[in-house]
Structure 1
Amino acid sequence: MVVLIAAVVLVITGCSVSTADEPNRASGENGYVGVQPQLTQIKPADRKPAPVVSGPELGTDKTISTADYAGKVLVINVWGSWCAPCRKEAPDLREASEETKDKAQFLGITSRDFAQAAPLRFVEEQKITYPSIFDPDGATLLQFSRELPPSAIPTTLIIDAEGRVAVRILGPITKTTLVDMIDDVAAGK
């Protein structure tokens, strides 16, 4: 178990700098290790169930869960307000969520933001309307450690209507690619 936790911590920290400089970093600084975008699609017959994860909703005192969206295509985006690629992809995610709202529900998981102020500002500036789980310590992400874990920030997962992981995108994603992937998963591909 200790090895698993250490591996997840190493993966999560891949897109960041030390937390000691967190309060001093400006939003435009790069302070991250880049990741080459990587897309993994899983054929319907080979898909495994996604874990049911829950956590506090960013900006509220409610708990939200992936189970709240059972029977729907679910797009989970792992992000951090400190992550430059996350800022770059945010408009594409917002537009994709609006364009596919009849097919898919979006859910963010903000990681490595140790207080809610910065991610709340990020959501406001980017005009993000879908909810996010506030996951400062990575406990929610640990639940994905078995099948296609979100091993970079940003990572986007598409869960099919049967609750199975269909797509994992490591690194930033464009609206066009994301909408195409959502369309495929919603069509049972």
Structure 2
Amino acid sequence: MDSHDEARSKASALLRQRGLRYDNIYDPADSQLDKLAGNLPTDVLPSTIVLDKQGRLAVRILGPVNADTLLTEIEAVNHGR
């Protein structure tokens, strides 16, 4: 197993262990992260982002977020906020 496969496997296991079922981006080359440069600090965990339909940053939440807040933000973005 190469390092990318191993990293992806570990990440998937962590998501399952924590019961996280929402979409996550596997971005080993940081190509998607690079698009958000300056908008998402890499030293704040957890960090949650919501992208609009064009793939642009619409919401940034630094620190823990509950499901109700996240769903409210997603709905607002879906309705053009």
Q: TM-score range by the shorter chain?
A: 0.5 to 0.7
Q: Is residue 128 from structure 1 mapped to residue 4 from structure 2 by the alignment?
A: no
Where structure 2 has 5 or more consecutive residues not aligned to the other structure, the ranges are none
Question: What is the root-mean-square deviation of aligned Cα atoms in Å?
Answer: 2.8
* Deviation string, structure 1 residues 93-126 (Cα, Å, up to 9, x no partner): xxxxxxxxxxxxxxxxxxxxxxx3xx34322222
Counterpart contact for 2:52–2:77, Cα < 8 Å: yes
**Normalised by the size of structure 1, how large is the TM-score?**
0.33
Residue pairs, 1:14-25, within 5 angstroms:
none
Gap runs ≥5 in structure 1: 1-54, 60-115
2:41 alignment partner in structure 1 = 150
Task: Please report the TM-score for the alignment, with normalisation by the length of structure 2.
Answer: 0.67
Query: d(CA) in 2 for partners of 1:159 and 1:167?
Result: 7
Q: CA deviation at 1:127?
A: 3.1
Change (3 A) 1:120 1:164: closer
CA radius of gyration, larger in: 1
Q: Which has the higher strand share?
A: 1
Greater RCO, 1 or 2 (C-alpha within 8 Å, sep 6+): 1
Q: Distance in 1 between matches of 2:24 and 2:55?
A: 18
Q: Contact between 1:58 and 1:132, CA under 8 Å: does it hold in 2? A: no
Amino acid of the structure 1 residue aligned with 2:26: I
CA distance in 1 between partners of 2:14 and 2:27 (Å)? 13
The count of corresponding residues between Structure 1 and Structure 2 is 73
Identity %: 27
